[in-house]
Amino acid sequence: MTDIEISKVLLTAFSNHQKVNIQLKNRDQNGNLSADTEGMVEGYYQQDTIIISGCLVDLEDINHVEICKLSN
């Protein structure tokens, strides 16, 4: 995803109080992507860091983000 696409999804989730699932670019020693992070978008810290359920995430570390589907 591009930075613009990521920002649009995060803004939509924040505006509509929706949970997101975030895949970070971080990889372990075997080259596997780290586990996804799931939570609520609470806002920004400075310009390039987002707050997801109390955790700071650098925007440049985000590989993919999507709004979680509601389970019925």
CATH of the domain at 60: 2.30.30.100
Cα–Cα distance measured from residue 72 to residue 70, given in angstroms and rounded to the nearest whole number: 6
- Mean pLDDT, rounded, of the chain: 92
Asked whether residue 18 is domain-assigned, the answer is: yes
Model pLDDT, residue 38: 94
Tokens of 30: 């075997």
Model pLDDT, residue 65: 97
What is the per-residue pLDDT across 54-66, written as a single tens digit (0 to 9) for each? 999 999 999 999 9
Asked whether residue 29 is domain-assigned, the answer is: yes
Q: What are phi and psi of 54, to 5 degrees?
A: 85, -5
Asked whether residue 72 is domain-assigned, the answer is: no
DSSP state of 27: B
* Amino acid occupying residue 40: M
Between 65 and 28, residue with greater pLDDT: 65
The boundaries of the domain holding residue 40 are: 3-67
Model pLDDT, residue 71: 63
Q: Are 3 and 61 in contact (CB under 8 A)?
A: no
What is the per-residue pLDDT across 5-23, written as a single tens digit (0 to 9) for each? 999 999 999 999 999 999 9
Please count the structural domains in the chain: 1
Which residue, 62, 12, 59, 64, is CA-closest to 40? 12
In the structure, what pLDDT confidence band is assigned to residue 72 with cuts at 50, 70 and 90? low
